[in-house]
Amino acid sequence: MPMRLLLIILVALPAWLFALHTTAISATAAAIEKDTLSPGQTLTGDGKLVSSNGKFALGFFHISIISNSTPDNHNNTDLKLWHLGIWFNKVPKLTPVWVASRENPIQSPISPELKFSGDGANLAVVNLATNSTVWSTQITTQTNTTTTILVLLSNGNLILRNSDDNILWQSFDHPTDTLLPGATIALNKITGETRRLVSRRSNADQSPGVYSMEIGRDGVVRMLWNSTVPYWSSGEWINGGYFSSVPEMTAHHRFNFTFVNNDRESSFAYQVLDESSTMYSFVDVSGQRRVLSWHEGRQDWVNVFTHPNDQCEVHAVCGPFAVCNDNTLLSCSCMKGFVASSVGNNWDLDDPIGGCRRNTSLEDCGGGGGGDRNGSNGDLGDRFYAMTRVVALPFDTRKIGDAASAAECEKVCLGLCSCTAYSFGTGGCSVWHGELLNVKQLLSDGASGSGKTLYIRLAATEFQARRNNRPAVSIVGLIAACSATLSFLAVIIVVLIVRAKRNKRKLHFHNANNINNIGGGLIPFKYRELQRATRNFSEKIGAGGFGVVFKGMLNESTAIAVKRLYGSYHEEKQFRAEVSSVGIIHHNNLVKMIGFCCEGEKRFLVYEYMSNGSLDAHLFRNDASTLNWKTRYQIALGIARGLAYLHESCRDHIIHCDIKPQNILLDGSFVPKIADFGMAKLIGRDCSRVVTTARGTIGYLAPEWFSGMAITPKIDVYSYGMVLFEIISGWRNTDKEHSCDNDDDDVAYFPVQIARKLLEGNVMRFLDHRLNGDAIFEEVERACKVACWCIQDKEFDRPMMSKVVQILEGLVDVDMPPMPRLIEAITQR
């Protein structure tokens, strides 16, 4: 063979071998990663079906466990818990969306096998170690089975169908904890058959948990504990295409919804409009319904929205004898006298059902004695520990009508073997038997009158143990305090050094077009980026005491509002206030801050754009279209939810200090969002009130602003009451010339008018005349009562915003409010 030809062969041979190897790999992959399975074929090991779009995969996944694990045993068996499931094929984190046999995972060192019977009648999962069937489709009626085929569809639905395209079985009819786009939760009203979601037991355990989501005969979606106790509701279906308690559904550019409620069925499904995105809805092990989206930049799932928003609203989320605090993140702890249970107590791993158990068993039963409520004497017997600042008393209370005092209430509880706690207040005596669930406590003392006291039954030895340990506790506390102080000083020094170095460097700014690739944090914009986005600040859409607002576009579809601050002292003060408050919080009823600009003397804040402007433009301008009553009521409820979040759920409580219609913005679906946090005040959780200079707007200022008293979140409650009057009436609260009754010669300040109309039962005369009486009387009356309670002279007489939300939602009744004396006195001058 000529040398030249030999060299050509030697050079070409590696490339030819590589091409052959690549072809073989592709062929193998194609053989494994197909989307169909025919009768007689099997699936095992690493084999999987992959949908035609590559998005979903069906196969076996496992969790490894070690058996016979002892120091002297070197023959440990690596067992695995196998599941047949469907997951996202292109997502590097294993995320199952359907599991065939949740209750019975196969414990085996080798993979099970998915068998498709030769006659095409059924699918079956077989444990090869025992040759036993652990799951099957259990199809009993079958025709023309030889033409049956198993297909994994592009939407993640696994189906058995025949040659006539009739679906004989599908995974969408047997959901686990996940609702994929295109799947439905449903109720057959004729047969009673329900299709619902059930959470996993824990992140490591696929078996069914205690939380579920289903749709009822009334078309309302509910979340339940143990299929019996509802703790969240979607509200009724609104003709605009969303559930009344899920305003996030108004983001029509992301989803399309299908809702059916007739004599035959109730059902709900959704579609994601952007097919390139990976998104799904599921019931989390913590009892919340979450919608997650895969973020390529982070390589992780990011939260789109959650229900209920407050983790502590989930029934029994911390388990028995545990306390959930008012943090936005789940924070469970055991009550005094209790310790985390040995089983199922790992809250960090989202396994909440274990809760806590007693340190010491109760010492007597039915004795009736046992010392005073604080456990101060040395008598034997059970006693009561006083837990203060309780904002949610335990589930399943029982009222004791003949206990007229706290002492009598305590005696009743001690006389019952099963009684574990009691509380006495304006509602009389309440006792609880057995496990205590759903106790929610503030982390620090709240405003005057906030919270109740729950007396927990403990063995007397618990109090004796605490007295004996007090000196040691004091020493430990002193050491801890000194260590904390030194650590705090060290942190301050480090922060000062870092800031000094940063001032010497030029800030690095992200391009505005990367907004969708940045999750959670604020974007530092360059001035020229904002100049370009606003077309050199040409479209002014608003102005206030601290600056001017311009409309801009980050790209063809993302509108923004750019707020330019002016005035050196106020500019810097407001800039810091807004970034430190609204910049770190997220809620559907709070305007979202996207980023900021801080170059030289220039200060800009960048927000999401609200297409329907501010609330005042719709209430007080004659040329504006009139908001109907349903929209007004939902706006009032949304504002209340936003304020409740600021006051009670943020890591640091936030007082807005300037609630008024001009600072309530409305998006395209009239969902209200609280804006303009330039006057906001942050209050640490170890503080309930703060001294500050007077701020706000005339007509919305609470009396304590003028008395020099320290303020609390109740100043926002007062302002909210005034705004609620305006929402109902369509008048500015500073306008004394209007009268709600044209036949009255006595023209009074309208908060006084409404108080009088409430007593007369004639609140509809107070309703905005442009509505022509088209409103629900019960809602108008409820809103008027709430407004009057919110503007009470004394702050402790005003309700917390979370209570306002419950009243407006119709969950809590509201009494007739008294006339605010200060307002009446002012109007009579």
First and final C-alpha spacing in the chain: 120
Amino acid at site 180: L
Spatial CB neighbours of 66, under 8 Å, sequence gap ≥ 6: 76, 77, 78, 79
Contact 184, 195 (CB under 8 A): yes
Q: Is 696 exposed, middle or buried (0-12, 13-18, 19+ CB in 10 A)?
A: buried
Closest-CA residue to 192 (of 266, 269, 268): 266
Residue by residue, DSSP assigns 159-181 as: EEE-TT--EEEEGGGS--SEE-T
Which residues, at least 6 apart from 600, have a Cβ–Cβ distance to it below 8 Å?
none
- Which DSSP helix (H) or strand (E) runs through 750? helix 750-760
User: Which residues, other chains included, contact 133 with Cβ-Cβ below 8 Å and sequence gap of 6+?
Assistant: 124, 125, 126, 127
Long-range contacts formed by 360-363: CB under 8 A, 24+ apart: 360/458, 360/459, 360/461, 360/462, 361/459, 362/457, 362/458, 362/459, 363/459, 363/460, 363/461
Contacts of 785 (CB under 8 A, 6+ apart): 758, 807, 814, 815, 816, 817
Cα–Cα nearest to 434, from 423, 420, 452: 420
Strand-strand pairing, 602-608 and 593-599:
antiparallel
How many C-alpha atoms does 193 have within 13 Å on its Cβ side?
A: 5
Q: How far is CA 405 from CA 172, 367, 408, 415, 431, in A?
A: 57, 19, 5, 16, 13
Q: Is 658 a catalytic residue?
A: yes
**DSSP code at position 312:** G
Instruction: Name residues whose C-beta falls within 8 Å of residue 359's C-beta, 6 or more positions apart in sequence.
Output: 337, 338, 339, 462
Long-range pairs for 548-554 at CB < 8 Å and ≥24 separation?
A: 551/609, 554/512, 554/513, 554/515
Residue 734, both tokens: 């500073």
Query: If we measure between CA atoms, which residue out of 79, 40, 37 comes closest to residue 59?
Result: 37
**Phi first, then psi: what are they for 396, rounded to 5°?**
65, 60
Whole-number Å distance between alpha carbons of 708 and 711: 9
Q: What is the DSSP string of 224-270?
A: EETTTEEEEE--PEETTTEETT-GGGG-TTTEEEEEEESSSEEEEEE
Pairing of strands 77-88, 56-67: antiparallel
Q: Which distant-in-sequence residues (6+ apart) come within 8 Å of 100 by Cβ?
A: 83, 84, 85, 125, 135
Report the relative pairing of strands 593-599 and 523-524 from DSSP bridges: parallel
How far apart are alpha carbons 77 and 284 in whole angstroms? 32
d(CA 433, CA 413): 9
Which phi and psi (to 5°) does residue 176 adopt? Answer: -105, -100
> 451 in the Ramachandran plot: left (φ > 0), alpha (ψ -120 to 50) or beta?
left
Residue found by looking up tokens 């304590």 in the block? 704
CA distance 787 to 126: 65
> And the tokens for 778?
């019960």
**Exactly one of 177, 350, 658, 716 is catalytic; which is it?**
658
Q: Is 399 annotated as a binding residue?
A: no
Residue 730: HSE in the Cβ half-sphere, 13 Å Cα cutoff: 20
Spatial distance between the Cα atoms of 231 and 229, rounded to a whole number of angstroms: 6
Two tokens, residue 802: 């979370």
Mark the binding-site residues for ATP, compressed into ranges.
563
Active site members: 658
